[in-house]
Structure 1
Amino acid sequence: MNSLARLTAGTAITLFACGLAMAEPLTLAIAKAAIVSDQASGQRALDLKMTPDSARAFADFTRANVGKVVDLSVDGAVVASPRLVEPILGGEVTLSGAFTAGELQRLAERISAGGAKVTVGVKADQPL
């Protein structure tokens, strides 16, 4: 291996180890999607409960990305972009905000039917 190849490989490993390399979005398997009342705001919200394997992967993802903005997408459309202030370890997220009741219901139905792809990834346009 020449010195340029070693330098390139070493740089890639260092970036990955430091968490600076952009990872592919994580696909989440949702066990249950339901409309709930958000305790904090009193608004209707979408509650997503992950399967055990997805809950573990999501916990690892959130641990590695505390302080970053992440995009939660359903079928490629971003539905929420929160900043992670702490790891999310319980395998459950609640989405509230500027959703109409109809939007929440359609999302819950699509996800519950099993045909929707739910992903989470680090927002691309933020400083490292």
Structure 2
Amino acid sequence: MISLARLIAGTAIMLLACGLAMAEPLTLAIAKAAVVSDQASVQMALNLKMTPDSAKAFADFTKANVGKVVDLSVDGTVVASPRLVEPILRGEVMLNGTFAPGELQHLAERISAGGAKVTVEVKAEQPL
């Protein structure tokens, strides 16, 4: 029989490990980045399609963080901070909103060139 102290200690270690893992940004491998017309918002948008491995990791990340605000960064610069309203399971995201003229095209080109690091992480400070 497991003692209560061992059970509590084991649970605390698991929670600590999960908390540390969640603090690390998830690096995404992007298979394709393109500027497209978003029919829903009638704006131009950056479409990012992930590789199969990144799509699965991203799906797990979004399932675990529904309701939270996340930062999507390119080379360390936050380009979007959406609130996850549902899991994103297909490995594809569309970024639209207020971007400077040419900014979406510049991002698509940087990501497509293969040298840009694309990451996502839970925003440190969650708004109320």
Pair in the same fold by TM > 0.5: yes
CA distance in structure 1 between the partners assigned to 2:126 and 2:22 by the alignment: 11
**CA positional deviation for 1:16:** 4.8
Matched, 1:13 2:43: no
Q: Which residue does 1:33 correspond to in 2?
A: 33
Change (3 A) 1:11 1:29: same
Structure 2: runs of 5 or more not aligned? 1-6
Do the aligned residues in 2 keep the contact of 1:71 with 1:123 (CA within 8 Å)? yes
**CA positional deviation for 1:13:** 1.6
Tell me the matched-pair count.
123
Do the aligned residues in 2 keep the contact of 1:44 with 1:101 (CA within 8 Å)? no
CA distance in structure 1 between the partners assigned to 2:22 and 2:91 by the alignment: 23
Q: Which residue does 2:58 correspond to in 1?
A: 58
Q: Which residue does 2:85 correspond to in 1?
A: 85
**CA positional deviation for 1:10:** 4.1
**CA positional deviation for 1:111:** 0.1
> TM-score, normalised on structure 2?
0.86
CA distance in structure 2 between the partners assigned to 1:38 and 1:8 by the alignment: 50
Do the aligned residues in 2 keep the contact of 1:23 with 1:121 (CA within 8 Å)? yes
RMSD: 2.4
User: Which residue identity lines up with residue 79 of structure 1 in the other structure?
Assistant: V
Cα distance per residue 1:69-124 (max 9 Å; x no partner): 00000000000000000000010000000013410010000000000000000000
CA distance in structure 2 between the partners assigned to 1:126 and 1:101 by the alignment: 29
- SS across alignment from 2:47: strand
- SS across alignment from 2:54: helix
